[in-house]
Each structure stands twice: as structure tokens, then as C-alpha cells.
Amino acid sequence: MVSQHGILYAVHLVTNQFGNLVAKVCECLLRDGALPIHAIVRRTELSPAKVKNSLLVLIQHNCAQAFILEESVSGEDAGEPGKAHTQYIALFVNILHRVRFSKFLDVVSKELGGSCGELFRGLLEHGRLTVKQIVDRADANAKESTKTVQEDLHKLVMAHYVECCPAPEPLVPPPDPDAKKRAKSSKVLVESLTLEQRVMAVAMPSSMRRFSFVPNTDQIADDQQNVNQPPTKDVGQKRKLHDLESDPALEEEAECNWRANFEELLRRLRHKACVDTIKVRFDDVAATVLSAMLAASRAEENKVKTANSVPLSLDTIYEEVVKNEKNHSMTFDHVRTCLEELSSPPAFVKTDDESYSIDFAQIVEAAQSEEIESIILKRYGEAAYKIFRLLFRVGRLMETDKIADTIFAEKKETSKTLYKLWQDGYLLMEKLVMGGTATGPSYGGSSFILWKVNKRLLWGTVVDEMFHAAFNLNQRLTHEIDQNKEVILNLPPDKREGPDKQKFDRLRNVRLLIHSSLMKLDDVIMLFHDF
């Protein structure tokens, strides 16, 4: 369930990039969940044509997904009885990813080079494109040949940075009615999938189709002989059927639009965050060894929130370490010693019969705890920091007197701080009555106030605060730009003098500061929401 501040933030992002009309439809889907088009029309009070165009924009840019649910729609949103209707659902996480485009582009450019980065930029800008449209875009920019573009696309697909788009209207089966009963009878806690997760699981093509692309320059309609001619179709226009009748293989390729694979990109950012955490806690050598383990086990990961990597032998890890020329001076014993340090409590690397695996969950939790402790230290002071750190590490209920004795503080001040943290959602409080009657502890009994950190609730509190802060910063940036529109639009750079130049310089500095703050806030949001 998306929080109110999360919805406000997402709607603001859509408004800035696609306008108020598309944002209104997006907000309707975020607040009310999956809806058929006639229900969206009724709720937004927009014309069917405007709603349809807005949905097409959201789908084109991977911010919404159409699907058909295998159950009749009930209530006032129902159409004809027993008839399946196409419904639309907003993809909240994909909307958030639009802030991270610069981070994604940096990952791709550093690994695969500038030409792949430029091709990938086009997919981020246009949402989804066919191979023909990608080639036309390169021709329009007069930067790369058709063969080079296809080779770059092949590299991106093989690296899983680009994927074939999901099915346009998948048929989603209803949830298993016996699943809840099995979950209750089982001792293992299994989280049920949300509707968005169920839809995307059905919509995504098989792994073979999702990451399958073979460069074939001869089958492109506009061949090298026409390279000097202007493109006959605009970027974003679909290929016509008569262009595809000559070859079934090209016809199958035309059915697949290509888009950025946010899942793989998010996994790479998660890896980077893990390496940064280890570098701060240990040193550069430990970070190098962890990077080698990530590179060796990356192909075996199949989801972003992987708890542990696959086991790796010491030989495999060492071979990966020395692949980099900078690490040729590292010895076998040096790597083994480093792994022993990483496997000491709290163990960030698990060991089992001379094999080693990364404990992603432990590393991410360490980074999360450090971030929250930093927030509490700045907001509430050192006493609150000590209390939270104690409760977070103990992981169980503790009584007020016990907490005060442990951190060597007065009970009265400790109690005040505990209540303040509880009111702001950082702690969970429970009252324990012992030895009393049903009338209350005053009849011979006593009561104790117990405190603990509920990580699941706390993560939601922190993410909601970050959404709120990001929304406020975006509002501030919009306000600053509106206040200085005359300086930006009406005065060319060579005529900005005196007070006008000072206003422009101030606005530039404010924008840089706000953008920097937004990037840091997004790092925290990813840490608690996506990692």
C-alpha cells in the first residue's frame, strides 16, 4: 500500500514530465487501484479520449500496465455482467525510477561505453521502442551506423540492461482461494503477492524471449545504401505490416518493443550500495573482495532483494579479484584473511565448507540501521541515539529502568525520550501488568512499560518521511523557478547584469543544491523501499 506522501511525490513527478492531464489519471489509479477505463472516466470527469491518450502515455513510459482479470468486476465499476474488462494499474515503483535515470545511465555508460549509453538514453527518453525506431533515432542523430546500433543493442540485451516489453494485456488468474489457508497452517511466513506483482509476473515474457536479440543488419528496411537519406518514419511510429511480410523472423522481432530493464539496474545500484557500506566499515581491500564476489555470482541472481548470493570457492573469488590489473599485488592469503574478517560477527559473508556467500540482508540492514541512527542523532540528540541503538541491536522488548541503567542515564529523562520516539513512530510500546486483578495493577499488582524497535513498521515510517521530504523539495524547486521566470525566459545570458545576474546565479545555486539533496534522498528511499 502506497502512503499518501508517496502518492503526492509520484503524482508530482508525473506532472512535471507529462502534464496535469496525465497526472490526474495517474493519481486516480494510485489512489483507487486497478480500474477499467469507464471507471477512470467517471472518477476523473475527463472525456474518454483524454483518458485513453493519458493511459497510452503512461503505458508508453512504463508507468502503467493494462491487464484482464479472470473474474467479473462488481459494484458500480462493473460493465456487462460476466464480461472481462481491460483494467489499468499504475506502476508506482517505475514512476519513482524516473528520478534515477541519471544513475541508471551512469551504470550503463561506465560498463558498456558511451555509444551504448547513448542508445540507452533513447530508451529512457521514449519509454519503449522497436529495433527499427532505435535505428531511425541513430540515423536522425547521424552518430552511428545501423550495424553499430544493432551491436550496441545486443550488448545491452546480453547485459540484461534492456529487455523485451511485457505483454500488452495479459490474462491474470484470480488469487488462489486456498493460499491463505495453506499459509495459516504452514509455520513458514509467506508474503502474498500484490495485484501489481501478480500482473507483472504474468505479463513478462519468458527469460529466453525477454533477453533474446540477434543483430541482423540485412533485415533492416532502411539499409546502408540509404544512410544519407532522411528517415522515412519518425521515432515512436510503429512499423507497417507490409514492411515485415518478407521474413517471419523480422515479423516476430517487430512484435517486441524494447525498454530499460529497471530490475537489473536496481540490482546493480544495490550492489554498489553494499560495496560502499563494506568500504566504510572495513577498507578498500574488503570492498575489492566483495566486488569480485558480486561479479562472480551476479549471473545467478534472479531478483533484486536476494538474501544471499550463491556459494563461491576461494579459488573462484581469487581468480575474479586478480582479473583487475590493480589487484595483481593481492595474494591468495590476503584474500582469505579478508574473507575471514568479513565472516566475523556481524557476518557479512557466510562460510560453509571452504565456500563463501554474501549475506545481502545483513549488509543492507547494517546500512539501514546506520542511516536511521544518523537521523535520530541529528533530530533527537545523543541520548535518543543511544536508546535506539541499544533497542535495535537487542531486538527484543526492554523495560524503561533496564534501558536507563544500560545507557547510564536518569530514568525520568530516558522515559521522556522513549515517549518522544514512540510518538514519532520509531519505537513500539507495550504495557505489561503483573500480579494485579482484573480491576487494575493498583490492587496488589504492578505494571511495566516495555519498548522495542519494530523494523517493519519503522521502515515504512522512514520511507514515508523521505517521500514527504522529496515532495517538499520538489515543491520548493517549482516555487523558485516560478518566482524567477522572467530572468530565465526573457533575458538572454549576455544581457543578465546587476540584480538580474544575481537572481539567476542564486537560482542556479538553489537548483544545484535541491537536485543534490533529491539524489541523496532517493538513495535513502532505495535503501529502505527497494533494497
Q: Which three cell numbers stand for residue 473?
A: 523539495
* pLDDT value at 379 more than 80: yes
pLDDT at residue 324, as a whole number: 85
How sure is the predictor about 98, in pLDDT bands with cuts at 50, 70 and 90?
A: very high
Q: Which has more pLDDT, 228 or 261?
A: 261
Q: Is 52 exposed, middle or buried (0-12, 13-18, 19+ CB in 10 A)?
A: middle
> Scanning the structure block, which residue is given the C-alpha cell 540509404?
226
If one counts every other C-beta atom within 10 angstroms of the C-beta of residue 499, the result is 9
CB 182 within 8 A of CB 135: no
* pLDDT value at 229 more than 70: no
What percentage of the chain has pLDDT greater than the value 90?
Answer: 59
How sure is the predictor about 183, in pLDDT bands with cuts at 50, 70 and 90?
A: low
Q: Which three cell numbers stand for residue 361?
A: 540482508
Query: Of the candidates 156, 142, 78, 53, which has an alpha carbon nearest to the alpha carbon of residue 114?
Result: 156
Highest mean pLDDT among 270-274, 396-400, 408-412: 270-274
- Lowest model confidence (mean pLDDT) among 22-26, 447-451, 462-466, 521-525: 447-451
Instruction: Write the DSSP assignment of 98-157 as a string of letters.
Output: GGGHHHHHHHHHHHH-HHHHHHHHHHHHHSEE-HHHHHHHHHHHT-S-HHHHHHHHHHHH
* pLDDT value at 226 more than 60: no
- Mean per-residue pLDDT for 319-326? 88
- Mean per-residue pLDDT for 376-388? 93
Q: What is the per-residue burial (b if ≥16 Cβ within 10 Å, else e) of 163-191?
A: bbbbeeebebeeeeeeeeeeeeeeeeeee
| Per-residue pLDDT tens over the stretch 427-472 | 999 888 776 555 555 555 577 889 999 888 898 889 999 999 999 9
Q: Is 135 exposed, middle or buried (0-12, 13-18, 19+ CB in 10 A)?
A: buried
| Helix, strand, or coil (residue 342) | helix
Q: What is the per-residue burial (b if ≥16 Cβ within 10 Å, else e) of 333-372?
A: eebeebbeebeeeeebbbeeeeebbbbbebbbebbbbebb
Q: Which has more pLDDT, 189 or 143?
A: 143
The rounded distance, in Å, linking the Cα atoms of 496 and 504 is 8
What percentage of the chain has pLDDT greater than the value 70?
Answer: 82
SS3 sequence of 186-197: CCCCCCCCCHHH
pLDDT at residue 221, as a whole number: 46
pLDDT at residue 493, as a whole number: 67
CB 90 within 8 A of CB 2: no
pLDDT at residue 271, as a whole number: 96
Residue 116, sorted as left (phi over 0), alpha (psi -120 to 50) or beta, turns out to be alpha
- Lowest model confidence (mean pLDDT) among 192-206, 215-229, 325-339, 399-413: 215-229
* pLDDT value at 188 more than 60: no
* pLDDT value at 162 more than 90: yes
Angle, alpha carbons 322-267-463 (nearest 5°):
135
* pLDDT value at 100 more than 90: yes
| Per-residue pLDDT tens over the stretch 271-304 | 999 999 999 999 899 999 999 999 999 888 888 8
| Residues in CB range of 322: below 8 A, 6 or more apart | 328, 330
* pLDDT value at 200 more than 80: yes
- Mean per-residue pLDDT for 149-160? 92
| Per-residue pLDDT tens over the stretch 484-518 | 777 676 666 666 777 777 888 888 899 999 999 99
- Mean per-residue pLDDT for 364-385? 93
Phi, psi of 90 (to 5 degrees): -80, 140
Q: Which has more pLDDT, 321 or 234?
A: 321
- Mean per-residue pLDDT for 3-22? 95
Mode of pairing for the β-strands spanning 64-69 and 171-172: parallel
- Mean per-residue pLDDT for 186-215? 81
Q: Which has more pLDDT, 244 or 477?
A: 477
- Mean per-residue pLDDT for 173-187? 63
pLDDT at residue 530, as a whole number: 92
| Per-residue pLDDT tens over the stretch 48-88 | 999 999 999 999 999 999 999 876 445 555 555 555 689 99
The secondary structure of residue 169, as a DSSP letter, is S
- Lowest model confidence (mean pLDDT) among 103-112, 134-143, 182-191, 246-255: 246-255
- Mean per-residue pLDDT for 194-202? 91
The secondary structure of residue 222, as a DSSP letter, is S
Q: Is 512 exposed, middle or buried (0-12, 13-18, 19+ CB in 10 A)?
A: exposed
How sure is the predictor about 249, in pLDDT bands with cuts at 50, 70 and 90?
A: very low
pLDDT at residue 435, as a whole number: 66
Give the Å distances, CA to CA, from 350 to 307, 318, 345. 12, 17, 10
Q: Which three cell numbers stand for residue 273?
A: 550500495
